[in-house]
Structure 1
Amino acid sequence: MTSSGFEALLEAVRGPASVNVLVITGAGISLASGIPTFRGTDPGAVWSNEVMEKGTHAFFQRAPHESWKMYLQRFELARAAKPNAAHRALVAWEAWQEAQGRGFAVVTQNVDSLHEDAGSRQLVKVHGSLRLARCSAQGCELGAPRGTVPMASVDFSAFHASPSPETVPRCPRCDSRLRPHVLWFDENYTEHDTYEIERTLILARQSRVIVFVGTSFSVGVTELVYRRGRKLDARMFSIDPSNASLDRGIEPVTARAEEALPELVRVLQS
């Protein structure tokens, strides 16, 4: 890969010994694993299915069974998916950075578990996880701001037999309805401690290179990190096949993540 953007990214990563790297991943990195994006042009893009309305706390309150049906469909899709070359390359890049005595972290907008399945260790799941549920009651020990429930421990048999508000699984502590442990569009990053938004902003402040991978820059965390990086004069890059509209001082690497990231690691290791 010889694009000017790729060479600029390589130069930045190979820069001074103090260079820490922060990678922000979006749905585009998981597309090669068979998980549709939200706003992309792929045939299964979730955005075409009214996710702005359904991906909200307000919708869960109105129709908790319909909300769970949507997330269980995505859970089954994600559970069958495997990490692709981009996820594995980030693990190798993390190891290379550590061997050089440099910091490295991944902040993912994705609620799938492909980064952890691949082996990423310095990982922030800023939008939650499909592998977790939590109580919908504020103040319950299994709800916000700290509590969660493993999805594997939740009994959905009655719900699968007859989806309805009455069969939505209940919290084992207080009997309120369980909800997916995901950040909905009408919620804030401070809703739950496990979103680790403060850690994300600290990582952005400490990083001299910030790489956005497979994101449309349409969610809050990308704007927060972008503003922090711009203020601190960090080098910022975007790895995505549809980078034509970038005009914000972010340097484009116009390529698929599963192609660009393994090549980057190959060159770093050589």
Structure 2
Amino acid sequence: MTTAATFEELLSAVRGPAGARTVIVTGAGVSLASGIPTFRGPDPGAVWANDVTEKGTRAYFKREPHESWLWYLKRFELARGAKPNDAHRALVAWEQWQARHQRGFLLVTQNVDTLHEQAGSRALVKVHGSLDQARCTRLHCKQGPPRGTVPMAEVDFGPLFADPSPETVPRCSLCKSKLRPHVLWFDELYSEHDSYQFDHVLRSAKQATLVVFIGTSFSVGVTDAVLMRAMLADAHIYSIDPSGVSHSPKIRVVAAQAELVLPPLVAALSD
């Protein structure tokens, strides 16, 4: 059974019937053209090869909180200088087209960069957190889980940079517990923080008529969860992936880079 899909086939699915409900899931591949390395991709800067499964964990933060912060800040600094590419902008236009036609739309990103927001996406869930936020490590602190965060811009990293040690890790201004990046670590659950909105993502996937995965490796829990519910809903399922690899017979793959295929796709939508 072939899983390859054409541009025209995807366009027809996007136009769909009146009342169609779309869920889009983006991964690191959508930000690669903006200069942000992926985790598992073939690009030379892919982070996966740099022992991310050890360092991207709560266990590592507990052992070496200062080293954990320095590792994340290095990656965050690269992402902060990035700008949205044509894929991000096209997704904004897609969302606006859906709204004009009173159709459901949800963009779920695994990325912690802020490129979707910078581009103008509004119907957005950042299911793995965000690089522009930190949070307290103490449960139920106003600046900690399950709801609180702290703007990263308000965190003082001066002592940490001057003398990296567990003692110089930034502290919560309210309870003096350690602050941590507001990201979902590999040894954590989506229920760790309300802002991940995992239940909302699952409900939307169950109600979707079209699900499109863009630039994701299908190696994290949210992709499996969305895919399973989309299949149960008998939704049309597509992936935009230059590798052309399908991870399920149910997924139709458009073998193209997102920043090249999304702008003409959205431009072809007619009012």
* TM-score exceeds 0.5: yes
After superposition, where does 1:80-99 map in structure 2 within 5 Å? 80-99=81-100
Return the letter of the residue paired with 1:32: A
Instruction: Judge conservation of contact 2:27–2:216 (CA < 8 Å) in 1.
Output: yes
Instruction: Judge conservation of contact 1:204–1:210 (CA < 8 Å) in 2.
Output: yes
Return the letter of the residue paired with 2:214: V
Structure 1 CA distance for aligned equivalents of residues 230 and 5 of structure 2: 21
Structure 1 CA distance for aligned equivalents of residues 247 and 257 of structure 2: 16
Structure 2 CA distance for aligned equivalents of residues 204 and 74 of structure 1: 30
Determine if the alignment matches structure 1 residue 118 to structure 2 residue 119.
yes
- Aligned residue for 1:45? 46
- Aligned residue for 1:66? 67
Return the letter of the residue paired with 2:125: V
Using the TM superposition, give the Cα deviation of residue 110 of structure 1 relative to its aligned residue in structure 2, in angstroms. 0.2
> What do the CA deviations read for 1:53-76 (whole angstroms, capped 9, x no partner)?
110000000000111011101111
Return the letter of the residue paired with 2:22: V
- SS of 2:199's equivalent? helix
- Aligned residue for 2:77? 76
Structure 2 CA distance for aligned equivalents of residues 96 and 252 of structure 1: 23
Structure 1 CA distance for aligned equivalents of residues 189 and 132 of structure 2: 20
Unpaired runs of 5+ residues, structure 1, are none
After superposition, where does 1:154-169 map in structure 2 within 5 Å? 154-169=155-170
Structure 2 CA distance for aligned equivalents of residues 99 and 154 of structure 1: 40
TM-score, length of structure 2 as denominator length: 0.96
Structure 1 CA distance for aligned equivalents of residues 5 and 269 of structure 2: 17
Could you tell me the percent identity over the aligned residues? 63
> What do the CA deviations read for 1:213-243 (whole angstroms, capped 9, x no partner)?
0000000000000000011100000001012
Instruction: Judge conservation of contact 2:206–2:232 (CA < 8 Å) in 1.
Output: no
Determine if the alignment matches structure 1 residue 237 to structure 2 residue 235.
no
TM-score, length of structure 1 as denominator length: 0.97
Using the TM superposition, give the Cα deviation of residue 5 of structure 1 relative to its aligned residue in structure 2, in angstroms. 2.8
Return the letter of the residue paired with 2:191: T
Determine if the alignment matches structure 1 residue 12 to structure 2 residue 25.
no
> What do the CA deviations read for 1:28-69 (whole angstroms, capped 9, x no partner)?
000000000000000000000000011000000000011101
Using the TM superposition, give the Cα deviation of residue 7 of structure 1 relative to its aligned residue in structure 2, in angstroms. 1.6
After superposition, where does 1:251-262 map in structure 2 within 5 Å? 251-262=252-263
Instruction: Judge conservation of contact 2:113–2:131 (CA < 8 Å) in 1.
Output: yes
- Aligned residue for 2:185? 184
Instruction: Give the number of aligned pairs.
Output: 268
- Aligned residue for 1:134? 135
Structure 2 CA distance for aligned equivalents of residues 63 and 154 of structure 1: 19
- Aligned residue for 1:102? 103
Instruction: Judge conservation of contact 2:127–2:197 (CA < 8 Å) in 1.
Output: yes
Instruction: Judge conservation of contact 1:246–1:252 (CA < 8 Å) in 2.
Output: no
- Aligned residue for 2:204? 203
Structure 2 CA distance for aligned equivalents of residues 97 and 89 of structure 1: 12
Using the TM superposition, give the Cα deviation of residue 269 of structure 1 relative to its aligned residue in structure 2, in angstroms. 4.0
Return the letter of the residue paired with 1:259: L
Structure 2 CA distance for aligned equivalents of residues 168 and 124 of structure 1: 29
- Aligned residue for 2:225? 224
Using the TM superposition, give the Cα deviation of residue 4 of structure 1 relative to its aligned residue in structure 2, in angstroms. 3.9
RMSD of aligned Cα (Å): 1.1
Q: 1:18 to 1:230 in 2, by over 3 A?
A: same
Structure 1 CA distance for aligned equivalents of residues 154 and 5 of structure 2: 49
Unpaired runs of 5+ residues, structure 2, are none
Using the TM superposition, give the Cα deviation of residue 159 of structure 1 relative to its aligned residue in structure 2, in angstroms. 0.9
Structure 1 CA distance for aligned equivalents of residues 137 and 226 of structure 2: 29
> What do the CA deviations read for 1:79-124 (whole angstroms, capped 9, x no partner)?
1000000000000011111111111110000000000000000000
- SS of 1:210's equivalent? strand
Return the letter of the residue paired with 1:223: D
Structure 2 CA distance for aligned equivalents of residues 32 and 206 of structure 1: 31
